[in-house]
Structure 1
Amino acid sequence: MAGTATQKAGTTEPTRRDFIVVAAGAFGAVGAAAALWPFIDQMNPSEDVLALSSTEVDLSQIEVGQSLTVLWRGKPVFVRHRTKAEIEAAEKDDNADLKDPQRDEDRVQKPEWLVLVGVCTHLGCVPLGEQGEYHGWFCPCHGSVYDTSGRIRKGPAPKNLAVPQYTFLTDTRIRIG
């Protein structure tokens, strides 16, 4: 009884058993995490999928008035170096009656460069460039007509050509994705 007289009522000193229980629990948690890690890690995308998630485009080889089509995530992407007349036409058409209203400046980061996913929003065809009455893109399959900003103007397509996420790395290089 002499040892218990100095202790406060209701408290006990940690014992060796308490230490063993805590150490065993920690060891078990670390072991479970180590066993689960390979299963969690295999859910990450593979390197070939990550390689397709973005692509870089050298803009220095595209003259004013020309387009380049690159493949990104298995889809064609149109990169167009627009002329002054195309930019003016696109900005003028901001006030037109559009099915899917979007201003030209909301679709481009720099007015002279237009980047669009080249898939018609009607049934997934690939439109032809510099065609149609708005001198943008024309989908011959069902007659959808897009303007010089990739906005739908006529035909069955419900939406504008999509603008992918892209970043200017330098003045002559972009990364799509």
Structure 2
Amino acid sequence: MAVETYPASGIDLSSGPSPEEGSEPTRRDFFIISAGAFAAVGAAATLWPFIDQMNPDASALALASIEVDISAMEPGQSITVVWRGKPVFIRYRTEEEIAAAKETPLSELKDPVARNDNLPADARATDENRAPAGREEFLVMVGICTHLGCVPLGEAGDYNGWFCPCHGSVYDTAGRIRHGPAPENMLIPVMDFAADGKLIVG
């Protein structure tokens, strides 16, 4: 290729790299990239002990369960407690609420799965599978709407269960989604009943 130059200055008017200036990476580029990668790994290894110390220790993990005194609760009463930073609804259901939940055909449910951590994952969403065995008057749920995580209002909605005012999800007296954008029934956490009128959640 001919190169044009000014006679006096010898300024190169050609554009682009010359054939000798190839675009292939050099050994220097490889060493620079390798050194950067080793530095990043070293920084992560140095910071990990500081990050890890923010995880809960064994004593905090032992508090993953809570005890709630439900001995004074009466039919129609609800209380809300906090477990693992989440609201948990405890509802002492009336006979009418239990009957309404039991009479609902599974074919009418939007989510046919129980969502009960005490049962197999594929358990059906019957009222018996949503309430504790032998204590069907109590309904214990993580009180978070399964749509976008809002907290539903109790004794509200078309089924006198729970209603989420954020986007209109409606749950029945067994905490099962019936209408609205929520895709799943509210979660039933792991629980147990103690002999002294205490409910253990978690």
**How does the TM-score come out when normalised to structure 2?**
0.63
Question: Structure 2: how far apart are the matches of 1:113 and 1:49?
Answer: 28
For the pair 1:174 / 2:199, whether they are aligned, the reply is yes
Identity %: 61
Indicate the residue corresponding to 2:126 in structure 1: 103
Letter in 2 for 1:145: V
Indicate the residue corresponding to 2:187 in structure 1: 162
Question: Structure 2: how far apart are the matches of 1:160 and 1:171?
Answer: 30
Between Structure 1 and Structure 2, which shows a larger proportion of strand residues?
1
Indicate the residue corresponding to 1:64 in structure 2: 75
Q: Which runs of 5+ in 2 are unaligned?
A: 1-52, 113-124
Letter in 2 for 1:143: G
Question: Structure 2: how far apart are the matches of 1:63 and 1:147?
Answer: 20
Please identify the structure whose Cα radius of gyration is greater. 2
Question: Structure 1: how far apart are the matches of 2:104 and 2:89?
Answer: 20
Shift of 1:44: 8.3
Cα root mean square deviation, aligned: 1.8
- Runs ≥4 in structure 1, deviation > 6 angstroms? none
Aligned length: 136
1:77-156 alignment, distance < 5 Å: 77-101=88-112, 102-109=125-132, 110-156=135-181
Question: Structure 2: how far apart are the matches of 1:44 and 1:143?
Answer: 37
Indicate the residue corresponding to 1:33 in structure 2: none
Between Structure 1 and Structure 2, which shows a larger proportion of helix residues?
1
Letter in 2 for 1:100: D
